[in-house]
Chain A
Amino acid sequence: MTNSSSPDGVMLTERPSGRSATTGARARMSPRRRSEITWALIFATPAILGLVLLKAMPILFSLYISMTDWSAVGDAHWVGLDNFEKMLFADPLFWRSLQVTAYYTLVSVPVSMAFAFFLATLLNQRIPGLGIFRTIFYIPSIVPIIASTVIWLWMFNPDFGLFNSVLGAVGIPKLQYIFSEDQVVPSLVFMSIWGVGPMMIIFLAGLQEVPKELYEAADIDGSNAWHKLVHITLPMMTPTILFNLMISMVAAFQTFVQPFIMTNGGPNNGSLFFVFWIYRKAFQDSQMGYASALAWALFIIISVLSYLIFRTSNKWVFYRGGDD
Chain B
Amino acid sequence: MSAMENDTSIGDSLVRNTPGVNKRRLAFLLCVLLSIAMILPLAWLARSSLMEMGQIFIFPPEWIPNPFAWHNYPDALTTIPFFLYLWNSALVVVPTIVGTLFSSSLAAYAFARLNWPFRDQIFAVLMATLMLPYVITLIPTFLIWSGLGFVDTYVPLIVPHWLGTNVFYIFLLRQFFKALPKELDEAAIIDGAHIVQVFWYIVLPLSRPALLVVAILSGLGAWNDFVDPLVYINSSEKYTVALGLSQFVGLYTSQWSLLMAAATVVIIPVIIVFFFTQRYFMTSITMTGLKG
Contacts and interface: CB of A to CB of B under 8 A. Distances in A.
Nearest to A35: B195
Interface string A232-273: 000000011001100000100110110011000000000000
B260 A146 contact: no
A37 B117 contact: yes
Nearest to A191: B41
A151 B44 CA distance: 8
Interface in B122-163: 122, 125-126, 129, 131-144, 146, 160, 162-163
B115 A21 contact: yes
A298 B245 contact: no
Contacts of B133: 250, 253-254, 275, 295, 298-299, 302
A8 B102 CA distance: 29
Contacts of B242: 144, 146
A155 B40 CA distance: 10
Contact of A150 (B30, B144, B260): B260
B34 A15 contact: no
A144 B266 contact: yes
Given A54-B165, A153-B249, A292 B289 contact: no
Interface stretch (A87-95, A104-112, A158-166, A178-186): A158-166
A313 interface: no
B267 interface: yes
B24 to A, nearest CB: 5
Interface string B154-188: 00000010111101001000000000001001100
Contacts of B267: 143-144, 147
A295 B170 contact: no
A292 B48 CA distance: 41
B135 A295 contact: yes
Contacts of A201: 10, 282, 285-286, 289
Nearest to A135: B278
Contacts of B289: 201-202, 205-206, 240, 243-244
B61 interface: yes
Contact of A204 (B10, B17, B23, B270): B10
Q: Is the interface of B mostly helix, strand, loop or mixed?
A: helix
A59 B192 contact: no
Interface in A194-223: 194, 198, 201-202, 204-210, 212, 215-216, 219
B35 interface: yes
Contact of A47 (B28, B44, B126): B126
A79 interface: no
A12 B126 CA distance: 23
Contacts of B141: 54, 58
Given A37-B116, A43-B114, A136-B38, A49 B163 contact: yes
30 contacts: A12-B195, A18-B116, A35-B195, A39-B195, A43-B109, A43-B199, A50-B103, A50-B164, A54-B165, A57-B144, A62-B137, A62-B139, A122-B30, A123-B11, A133-B34, A144-B223, A144-B226, A144-B242, A146-B224, A151-B45, A153-B249, A154-B260, A155-B41, A162-B61, A201-B285, A205-B289, A254-B134, A261-B249, A298-B136, A306-B131
Q: 7 closest A-B pairs (Cβ-Cβ)?
A: A50-B163, A202-B289, A47-B164, A47-B107, A243-B292, A40-B114, A58-B140
Interface of B: 7, 10-19, 23-24, 27-28, 30-31, 34-35, 38-42, 44-45, 48, 56-61, 102-104, 106-107, 109-111, 113-120, 122, 125-126, 129, 131-144, 146, 160, 162-165, 167, 170, 182, 185-186, 189-190, 192, 195-196, 199, 220, 223-224, 226-227, 230-231, 242, 245-246, 249, 256, 259-260, 263, 266-267, 270-271, 274, 278, 281-282, 285-286, 288-292
